Each structure stands twice: as structure tokens, then as C-alpha cells.
């Protein structure tokens, strides 16, 4: 048996792909994708908005978060040390705290992929050694269970599979970037344990999948090792969901059944995004990874339906998801941190967990790979510039868990809420969102481009340099210059390319009507269409310049007429950035509820607001009217209006100037 295991290990090791070819999602050999990933580190931000965010991520976000998680505040590293017998004490933190630590490790690897700071690798090697010592001989690894909780695989709310998924993903990324096997070997040993435990599909584990990151992790491990068992197991976890009777059981609590955990219907039959938004979107993202390998039509048809349902009936204007903290699904199941009914979009009580918003972008990133359509990159950008980035302060040290679209002093009793806070916090007891956001910022340059069959696609705009290999192995080097998202002028210079013709796909955002496109100063013969990729095909040569001008006027946006919460209200959007109005930019003692926006408002740009992260603000004259809030209802009167030139700030930058009120949506005064 030991000899056989050695042979299997050698075969797996021989089949591991070259690390320098693999992307964040390694779909380089996936048979059912249209766009493939560039390699990790192939794109580097050079200037402007995302370069500044990455620099902050490298210098502050990752080190500061490491000090929390490796110290006695976050305690995550302590848990591994205790499980390894290197330290005494109890487990501290939520059941899923191991997974949060793996996400932080993953973010550190992405930073290393750019700066090649060997101190990062040395720190990770020390951590990986401890994690290896904590792992049981049979491959099991989940410290909250090992340090005194129930027996393994007996209570799914302990998030063992969530921890598993982030372990597998983080280890694959570590191997791809560093070429090392120390973390990967731990992941393989753990995945083998998962396969032995779940592949037989015993009845007692039929409903065990909960927060299903393990599906993504298993597919990435399959892509990394070539071991098909991991892909089969990923598909098993999809197939198990929705087969069992929806009722409490030995491993299933009454509060986590049915639509709450997407088990009311099998995924292939589902028509509506339901339940816990993070659980749902991780599930869909994992299923998209499985489809990329199997090509099962029923699976992608379900994912298409669910993406449309999320984006067009359950998503906020900021790209946020998960309308309610506690509620009921359309089929009557109790849910929390969850999708609500279609077009039910409260603002003050909007939950919009940072993780859910990021998962929305992750799901769209995978759908972009499958279909190659620009609408998916539109959502990725919308999330990252709005409801994703709102989860962290401009100094990189404080965090939001939920991201409402309105905040009013005294309107909510935050002492009764376990994850919602009136402003960002230096540490969240439930710490899943901060490392999720930091790892996404750290890897975002890897989302900026994709590789169609014969060329390159520009998904996200920002000043950067790209050096990658096209699908035929030829080298491509591009330089992108822009002050996006504050300016719509984008210049892309070809620095190195093959002599044969190839395609450059330029995303024309769905808001960019009347975009203009030039090649070497001459209008391109391709007409840019909002919401599509403009495909330029020619024999390119070094020195060729593509210029794309996207109109960036500020506009008032209104909601679908079925969204009762925003009837006769408007929000402000300029390009991909959603704006809000915040109490520091209003007269003293003015309530955010007093603000009304005239339908003919005119805007002035206010660039370079350093205290909010060097953003561009907007100025416009609003109408203030003090509202009588002494009674539930009152007779309509003709109160006096006061004109006031107010500053509007990007939504992601609110709550950086002390405790404040804020709103995205404002009543319209038609004129």
C-alpha cells in the first residue's frame, strides 16, 4: 500500500502544471471556456487608483491583518499552534476561522507574486510548517474540531468544508506562484481524506455541504495535480444538494435547512437565487468551475438563469447582494444574511455582506471565462469599485461586514446586531470578510485581462503593464495609461507581440454610450457598442496605440418600478462609480433624510480628495427640507426649500470621517 501510494504521488507530481503558466483560476486546459486566465503576476498596476490600492494592500492591509491573525486579537495562528501541540489554550474565533487565515495567506502570496519579497515566503514557510504539524495523520485538518468541538463531520454548521475549500485554494495558489510543494502536499493529503470520506456518499453525510468553498478548492486542486478524483468529488458535492428531505437531522440544525442552504431544489432545477448569499454565490462559482471542466449543459443553463436572477432582480446598484439579515425565502424557509424576494431592496437595513458582494464578482469572473461576454466584467468592476471596496477604510485597517445604502443616527439598535455597525471596526469577531477583500485587492490585476483563443481581452481598466503569453505561446506586452475610473481616456500601447494577426477585445461598459475608439490616431473601423467587447483584429506591431474614450458624465439613476423602496428616488453614478451624500458634507444638524435631488441637477468635478483616498468627488446643488418625524403620518404641507451646494463622495469611501449619516438614494424633485 505504501509503495502504491508513492507511485500515485509521483504520478501526481509529474502532472502538476508549470507554476508560471497558471492563473488565479487555472483554466489554461479547461475544455469549456472562452476566455482563459493570464498568469498570476503577468499584470502589474503602475499608477492611479488601483496601483495606490495595491500599494496600500502590500504595505498596510496584508501586514496589519497578519499582525491581527497571528497575534492574540485574531488568534487564528494560535489555533494552529495549539492543534500542533506547540502552545496551550482553547480554540478562539468562529468555527470558520481557519478559512479566514488561509485567505490571508493567499493574499500574501499574491503580493509576493508582484514584489518578490523573500521575507513573505519565509514567513509563510514557518506558518505552513505549523499547519502541517497540526494536520492529523489521516489528513483531517480543522482546528475548531480538533480542539474540543464535536467529532469530525457530525455538525455541518462547524464549517469544516469551508475551511477545506480555502485550504485547497490557498495551497494551489502558493504552489503556482512559488513552485513549492510544502503547502500543496498538506492540501493533497486533506483532499484525499475528503475523497475517502465523502465519495462513498454515506447517508449521514448526504446533506453535509454547507458553505461550499470546497467545490472551488477541489476543482483547482484537480487543475493543479491532474487527479480526476478531486473533480469527481466536486461534482458529487453539487449532486448531493437537493436530494434529501428538508428537515432537521443529526448533523443539520433547524435554522440551516431548505433554501437557507440551497437544498430545497437541485441546482440544475433552480430558477431563483435563495438563502444565505455567500453560501449561494460560492456554490454557483464552484459549479461554474465544474462546468468549465465537464461542459454539462444543464449545469451552465442553471448558472445562466441564476446569474440573471441575481443581477437583474436581487442586486443593488452598488453590485451588492444579500438584501436581508433575517427573513424568509419566497418558498417560506427562514433565512439569514440572505437573498430576499425579487425587487425587495431595503436601503437602511440592507445587509450586503462584504463577502457576498465579492462572491458576486467571483461568480461573474468565472462566467466571463465561460462565455466571454463583457456583461460579466461589468459586474466585477461594479463590485470592486463600490460594494467590495466599501468593506475597508482608506487607511486599510478598519472593516465593514455589512454595507447598507443608507445610515441614519438612532435609526437602529446596533447593540442588538452582531455584525452590523454604524461605522467600520478595527476588528470583527466574525472575520471572514476582511481577508476575503484583501486577497481580492491583492489579486485584482489578474482579473484585468483574459486570453481569448487568438488574442487578449481587456476586462478592467487602470494604468498597468501586461507581459503574458497568448494561448499559442507567443509573448504579448502592453502598457495601459489612464486615470480611470475618474477619467474615461484610456491609452494602450503595444510593446511586443507576434507578427501574425490577433484580436484585442476592449470592454465597452454598459453605461458607456457614445464611446470612441482610435488606432494610431485614426478612428477604428469597429463601432463601440455599450455592453459588448469591441474586437479589433489586425497585424499589430510594437508602437501601435489604441485609444478608447469612455464618456464619464454624472447621471441620475432610477430603479425598476417594482422596487418600492426607491420609487421617485434617484442615485448618482459617474462611469462605474456610485456616489452617496454623507452628513459631513451637509450643514450642521441636517438629517440625511432632508436631502432631495432636483431632476435637472448640474455637476462639477472635485478631483483629488486625499482624505478619502485621492478620489474624485462631485458637487451639485440639492434641495433641503426639514422633515417632521414626530408622527408616523402627517398632512402634506408646502415646507420651505433651501438650496445647498453639497459634495457627493464615492460610496466606497463613506464612513472615513467619523460617525456619519449617509444615503445613496434621495427623493427626486422634478423640474
pLDDT digits (tens, 9 = 90+) for 199-225: 999 999 998 888 999 999 999 999 999
Please report whether residue 29 resides in a domain.
Answer: no
Could you tell me the CATH number of the domain that includes residue 535? Answer: 2.60.40
Q: Are residues 259 and 297 in the same domain?
A: yes
Report which of residues 498 and 244 the model is more confident about: 498
Q: Are residues 434 and 331 in the same domain?
A: yes
Choose the final residue of a domain: 447, 462, 490: 447
Look at residue 627 in the predicted model and tell me its pLDDT.
79
Look at residue 17 in the predicted model and tell me its pLDDT.
38
Question: Of the given ranges (11-25, 305-319, 628-642), which has the lowest mean pLDDT?
Answer: 11-25
* pLDDT at residue 410 tops 80: yes
Instruction: Give SS3 for 285.
Output: helix
Q: By percentage, how much of the chain surpasses pLDDT 90?
A: 90
Please report whether residue 22 resides in a domain.
Answer: no
Q: By percentage, how much of the chain surpasses pLDDT 70?
A: 97
CA angle in degrees (0–180, nearest 5) for 139-143-147: 115
pLDDT tens for 324-345 read 999 999 999 999 999 999 999 9
pLDDT tens for 496-538 read 999 999 999 999 999 999 999 999 999 999 999 999 999 999 9
Q: Are residues 301 and 361 in the same domain?
A: yes
* pLDDT at residue 10 tops 70: no
Q: Are residues 92 and 173 in the same domain?
A: yes
Report pTM.
0.95
For residue 600, give Cα distances in angstroms to 512, 557, 596, 642. 21, 12, 12, 16
Q: Are residues 443 and 454 in the same domain?
A: no
On whether the CB atoms of residues 211 and 282 are closer than 8 A, the answer is yes
Please report whether residue 18 resides in a domain.
Answer: no
Instruction: Give the three cell numbers for residue 520.
Output: 494610431
User: Confidence class of residue 246 from pLDDT cuts 50, 70 and 90?
Assistant: confident
* Distance separating alpha carbons of residues 622 and 645, to the nearest angstrom: 6
Under DSSP, the state recorded for 151 is P
* pLDDT at residue 395 tops 80: yes
On whether the CB atoms of residues 474 and 503 are closer than 8 A, the answer is no
Number of domains observed in the structure of the chain: 3
pLDDT tens for 156-184 read 889 999 999 999 999 999 999 999 999 99
User: Confidence class of residue 21 from pLDDT cuts 50, 70 and 90?
Assistant: low
Q: Count the neighbouring beta carbons within 10 Å of the beta carbon of residue 458.
A: 24
Choose the final residue of a domain: 531, 549, 567: 549
Q: Are residues 508 and 595 in the same domain?
A: no
For residue 664, give Cα distances in angstroms to 272, 379, 531, 579, 618. 27, 18, 24, 7, 13
* Distance separating alpha carbons of residues 70 and 561, to the nearest angstrom: 49
Please report whether residue 19 resides in a domain.
Answer: no
* pLDDT at residue 16 tops 60: no
Q: Are residues 440 and 454 in the same domain?
A: no
Q: Are residues 153 and 67 in the same domain?
A: yes
Please report whether residue 395 resides in a domain.
Answer: yes
On whether the CB atoms of residues 338 and 277 are closer than 8 A, the answer is yes
- The DSSP bridge partners found for residue 467 are 477
Burial class (CB in 10 A: 0-12, 13-18, 19+), 470: buried
- Give the distance, in angstroms, between the CA of residue 232 and the centroid of all CA atoms in the same chain: 26
Picking from 131, 130, 127, 148, the residue whose alpha carbon sits closest to that of residue 140 is 131
pLDDT tens for 551-581 read 999 999 999 999 999 999 999 999 999 999 9
Choose the final residue of a domain: 392, 423, 447: 447
Please report whether residue 595 resides in a domain.
Answer: yes
Please report whether residue 534 resides in a domain.
Answer: yes
Could you tell me the CATH number of the domain that includes residue 249? Answer: 1.50.10.10
Which domain covers residue 81, as residue numbers? 36-447
Q: Are residues 148 and 81 in the same domain?
A: yes
As a whole number, the mean pLDDT across the chain is: 94
Look at residue 252 in the predicted model and tell me its pLDDT.
83
Look at residue 416 in the predicted model and tell me its pLDDT.
85
Picking from 100, 108, 136, 113, the residue whose alpha carbon sits closest to that of residue 124 is 108
Look at residue 2 in the predicted model and tell me its pLDDT.
36
Q: Are residues 83 and 126 in the same domain?
A: yes
* Distance separating alpha carbons of residues 512 and 46, to the nearest angstrom: 24
The arithmetic mean of pLDDT across residues 310-327, rounded, is 98
Q: Are residues 473 and 416 in the same domain?
A: no
Q: Are residues 362 and 472 in the same domain?
A: no
Please report whether residue 126 resides in a domain.
Answer: yes
Amino acid at each position: 500500500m505504501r509503495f502504491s501510494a508513492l507511485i500515485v504521488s509521483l504520478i501526481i507530481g509529474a502532472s502538476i502544471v508549470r507554476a508560471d503558466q497558471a492563473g488565479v483560476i487555472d483554466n489554461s486546459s479547461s475544455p469549456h471556456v472562452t476566455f482563459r486566465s493570464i498568469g498570476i503576476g503577468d499584470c502589474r498596476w503602475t499608477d492611479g487608483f488601483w496601483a495606490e490600492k495595491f500599494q496600500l494592500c502590500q504595505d498596510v492591509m496584508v501586514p496589519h491583518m497578519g499582525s491581527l491573525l497571528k497575534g492574540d486579537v485574531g488568534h487564528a495562528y494560535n489555533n494552529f499552534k495549539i492543534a500542533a501541540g506547540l502552545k496551550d489554550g482553547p480554540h478562539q474565533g468562529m468555527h470558520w476561522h481557519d478559512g479566514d487565515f488561509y485567505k490571508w495567506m493567499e493574499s500574501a502570496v499574491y503580493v509576493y507574486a508582484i514584489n518578490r519579497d523573500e521575507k513573505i515566503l519565509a514567513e509563510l514557510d514557518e506558518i505552513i510548517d505549523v499547519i502541517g504539524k497540526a494536520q492529523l495523520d489521516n489528513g483531517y485538518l480543522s482546528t475548531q474540531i480538533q480542539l474540543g468541538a464535536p467529532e469530525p463531520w457530525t455538525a455541518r454548521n462547524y464549517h469544516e468544508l469551508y475551511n477545506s475549500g480555502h485550504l485547497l485554494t490557498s495551497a494551489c495558489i502558493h504552489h503556482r506562484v512559488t513552485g513549492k510543494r510544502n503547502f500543496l502536499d498538506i492540501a493533497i493529503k486533506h483532499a484525499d481524506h475528503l475523497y475517502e470520506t465523502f465519495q462513498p456518499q454515506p447517508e449521514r453525510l448526504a446533506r453535509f455541504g454547507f458553505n461550499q468553498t470546497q467545490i472551488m478548492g477541489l476543482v483547482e486542486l484537480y487543475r493543479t495535480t491532474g487527479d480526476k478524483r478531486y473533480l469527481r468529488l466536486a461534482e458529487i458535492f453539487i449532486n448531493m444538494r437537493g436530494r434529501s428531505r428538508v428537515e432537521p437531522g443529526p448533523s443539520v440544525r433547524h435554522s440551516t435547512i431548505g433554501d437557507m442552504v440551497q437544498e430545497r431544489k437541485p441546482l440544475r432545477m433552480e430558477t431563483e437565487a435563495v438563502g444565505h448569499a455567500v453560501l449561494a454565490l460560492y456554490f454557483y462559482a464552484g459549479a461554474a468551475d465544474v462546468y468549465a471542466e465537464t461542459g454539462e449543459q444543464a449545469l451552465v443553463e442553471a448558472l445562466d438563469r441564476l446569474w440573471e436572477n441575481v443581477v437583474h432582480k436581487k442586486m443593488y446598484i452598488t453590485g451588492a447582494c444579500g438584501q436581508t439579515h433575517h427573513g424568509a425565502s419566497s418558498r417560506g424557509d427562514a433565512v439569514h444574511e440572505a437573498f430576499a424576494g425579487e425587487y425587495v431592496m431595503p436601503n437602511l437595513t440592507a445587509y450586503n455582506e462584504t463577502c457576498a458582494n465579492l462572491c458576486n464578482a467571483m461568480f461573474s469572473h468565472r462566467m466571463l471565462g465561460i462565455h466571454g461576454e463583457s456583461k460579466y466584467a461589468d459586474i466585477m468592476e461594479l463590485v470592486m469599485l463600490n460594494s467590495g471596496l466599501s468593506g475597508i477604510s482608506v487607511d486599510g485597517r478598519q472593516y465593514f461586514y455589512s454595507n447598507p445604502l443608507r445610515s441614519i443616527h438612532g435609526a437602529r439598535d446596533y447593540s442588538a446586531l452582531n455584525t452590523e455597525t454604524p461605522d467600520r471596526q478595527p476588528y470583527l469577531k466574525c472575520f471572514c470578510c476582511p481577508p476575503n477583500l484583501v486577497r481580492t485587492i491583492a489579486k485584482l490585476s489578474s482579473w484585468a485581462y483574459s486570453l481569448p483563443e487568438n488574442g487578449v481581452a481587456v476586462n478592467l481598466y487602470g494604468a498597468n503593464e501586461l507581459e503574458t503569453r497568448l494561448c499559442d505561446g507567443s509573448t504579448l506586452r502592453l502598457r495601459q495609461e489612464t486615470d480611470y475610473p475618474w477619467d474615461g481616456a484610456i491609452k494602450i500601447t503595444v510593446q511586443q507581440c507576434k507578427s501574425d494577426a490577433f484580436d484585442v477585445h476592449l470592454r465597452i461598459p454598459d453605461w458607456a454610450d457614445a464611446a470612441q475608439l482610435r488606432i494610431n490616431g485614426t478612428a477604428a473601423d469597429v463601432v463601440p457598442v455599450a455592453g459588448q467587447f469591441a474586437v479589433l483584429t489586425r497585424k499589430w506591431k510594437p508602437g501601435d496605440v489604441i485609444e478608447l474614450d469612455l464618456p464619464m458624465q454624472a447621471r441620475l439613476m432610477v430603479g425598476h418600478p417594482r422596487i418600492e423602496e426607491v420609487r421617485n428616488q434617484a442615485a448618482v453614478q459617474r462611469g462605474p462609480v456610485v456616489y452617496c451624500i454623507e452628513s459631513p458634507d451637509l450643514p450642521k444638524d441636517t438629517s440625511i433624510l432632508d436631502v432631495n435631488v432636483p431632476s435637472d441637477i448640474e455637476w462639477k468635478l472635485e478631483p483629488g480628495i486625499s482624505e478619502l483616498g485621492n478620489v474624485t468627488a462631485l458637487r451639485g446643488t440639492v434641495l433641503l427640507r426639514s422633515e417632521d418625524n414626530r408622527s408616523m403620518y402627517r398632512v402634506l404641507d408646502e415646507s420651505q426649500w433651501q438650496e445647498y451646494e453639497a459634495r457627493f463622495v464615492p460610496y466606497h469611501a463613506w464612513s472615513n470621517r467619523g460617525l456619519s449619516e449617509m444615503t445613496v438614494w434621495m427623493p427626486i424633485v422634478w423640474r
